[in-house]
Structure formats: C-alpha cells, structure tokens
Amino acid sequence: MSLPIYEIYAVKYAGPFLRPMAKVLWNTGWEKEIEINYYLWAIKGNNEILIADCGVAPTLAQQMQLQGYINPVHVLARIGIEASRVQRVVITHIHFDHANGTELFPNATFYLQEKEFNFWIKDPVAKKPPFQMLSDTIGNARLSKLEGLEKLVLINGDQGILPGIDLLFAPGHTPGLQVVAVNTAKGTAILGSDCGHIFRNYEEEIPSCFIVDMVAWMKTYDKLKSKVSSLDLLFPGHDMKMLTDFPKVAEDITRLV
C-alpha cells in the first residue's frame, strides 16, 4: 500500500529579527549579522491537518515586544485552518518560540518527546540561566498541567503518528528535540525545527550556538541526512528563505513542498 502524500506550509508569525551570525552559525562570522523569522508549520494531506509547533501566544508576544508578531491563529486562518479545530500538534522542543502557544490550540493533542518534557518541566538544571533564557515559565506551566491527560502524548524515540508521518528523536539543540519526517510528492521531507536555524547549518554541518550536546547533535545530522530524500527537503527552524524562496500561498505563508 502506498503512503499518503502531504504538503508542508511554513507559517511565519514573527520577525524579522537581526541576530549575530555567530549565534546562528556556531563560532562563525563574529563580525556579521543575519536576519531570521519565527515560524510554525502546517502539514496537510489525506484529509488530515497537523501543526508542527505552536508559536507564541499574544500575552508573551506583547511582554517580549516581539517584532512583526501576528497571532498564529490569524495567520493560519489565511489558508482556512481554524486553530480551535486542529486535532494534532507536534511540539519539536520546549523553547518559548516553539512551545509557548499551546493555548492557541484548545482541542489539540500535543506530541512531545518524554525526555524533552522531563527535562524542561522536571529537571532542576532547566532552571539554570542558560536554559531559562530560552524557556518561559507560563508556557511550561501550561504544558505541565497536561501531564497524565490524553491531550499529551509523550513519545520515546522514533514513532509514526499517521501513515507517512514519523516523529524522529533528534537531540543536540535540546535534550529531546524531535523532528517530523513527512511523505511528500518529492519524497521524504523533514521539518527539522532548530536542529538547524538556517539551511547553512545542515550544508556546513555547523549547528547554532544553542547546544546541550554537540556529539549528539552531529549524530542527529547524520541520522536526518540518511532519512531525508534530498538535502533541500531538510527544513530549518528560522531561515528567511522559507518565506522568500518558496511559492507564496497567502501573506506570511509559503508551500515548502
């Protein structure tokens, strides 16, 4: 039986932000700067809609004065996706820009790696400054309340969640980051989230500066490259090109594949 084919959409909800290049491309280009965006992603096909990451909810966006912020609910509506009706949301990792907005999807089941959940929600080390800088207390408290409920599915390692959609354990950037491997018309594509901030991270095998385990991260690169059908189908978490170099289907939304 052949697998269903899905399309993947990049949904920009904030940015652009100017960042030092050395932050995005570890230890490289100290004198340079680069622009990035904040995204979530929609996967559509086989009568299913799956969202990867949930962005930032308005309260935190306002508190942080996020430049160019639009409530992800309003951006998704531009392609006819009603956030309140979404049933499945994959959270790639528990950094604020990917995991704060669970409240925007009140009827969804959330898929998270157990290791990621246990670290950010339970490990006292996650309270130390380098981790707190990328974490948000309110979003994490919301996640923590889901423990034990059917709305939270904790995954251990690689697991299929729908025909043609697999979650892959991909540590390095965080202890339990997961990526989404998707069967598309061009073969297997991978939504890599912050395994790479930009395409160059994968091309040059240099990660961003936000590292919890460099050895694991390099092994993750090998793993993802062995699973993806071609390198251009391995999508990063923050590259401007996802908005500028792919067919635009609505304001702030492009079709990656």
Output 166 or 239, the one with its CB closest to Zn ion: 239
Range in contact with Zn ion (rule: CB under 5 A) among 45-53, 104-112, 157-165, 188-196: 188-196
Stretch that binds Zn ion, among 92-100, 131-139, 214-222, 242-250 (CB under 5 A): 92-100
Could you tell me the smallest distance in angstroms from the CB atom of residue 70 to Zn ion?
17
Question: Minimum Å distance from CB 46 to Zn ion?
Answer: 28
Minimum CB distance to Zn ion smaller for 33 or for 147 = 33
CA–CA gap between residue 251 and residue 34 (Å, rounded): 22
User: CB–CB of 135/94 below 8 Å?
Assistant: yes
- Interface residue with Zn ion among 237, 242, 256, 257 (CB under 5 A) is 237
Q: Which is nearer to Zn ion, 45 or 98 (CB)?
A: 98
Helical H segments across the chain, by residue range: 21-24, 58-64, 72-77, 96-99, 114-117, 129-132, 137-145, 199-204, 214-227, 241-244
Separation of alpha carbons 203 and 33, rounded Å: 19
Among candidate residues 225, 178, 174, the one with its CA nearest the CA of residue 203: 225
Q: Which is nearer to Zn ion, 13 or 221 (CB)?
A: 13
What's the min distance (Å) between Cβ of 208 and Zn ion? 9
Candidate segments 27-35, 51-59, 96-104, 181-189, binder of Zn ion by CB under 5 A: 96-104
Q: Binding marks (x or -) toward Zn ion, 190..229, rule CB under 5 A?
A: ----x-----------------------------------
Report the C-alpha gap between 228 and 29 in whole angstroms: 28
Cis bond before residue 163 (omega within 30° of 0):
no
Query: Min. distance of Cβ 194 from Zn ion in angstroms?
Result: 4
Nearest-approach distance from CB 176 to Zn ion, in angstroms: 15
How many positions of this chain bind Zn ion (CB under 5 A)? Answer: 3
* C-alpha separations of 217 from 49, 58, 166 in Å: 29, 32, 19
Q: Which of 233, 85, 140, 218 is nearest to 242 (CA)?
A: 233
Would you give the DSSP letter of residue 163?
Answer: T
Cα angle value 87/89/94 (rounded, 5°):
150
Out of 53, 97, 136, 166, name the contact with Zn ion by CB under 5 A.
Answer: 97
| Min dist. Cβ of residue 199 to Zn ion (A) | 15
138, amino acid identity:
I
The identity of residue 242, as a single letter, is: M
Q: End-to-end distance of the chain based on CA atoms, in angstroms?
A: 22
Query: Least distance in Å: CB of 193 to Zn ion?
Result: 7
Q: Which is nearer to Zn ion, 45 or 196 (CB)?
A: 196
Contact pattern for Zn ion over residues 129 through 168, marking x by CB under 5 A: ----------------------------------------
Residues that bind Zn ion in the complex, under the rule CB under 5 A: 97, 194, 237
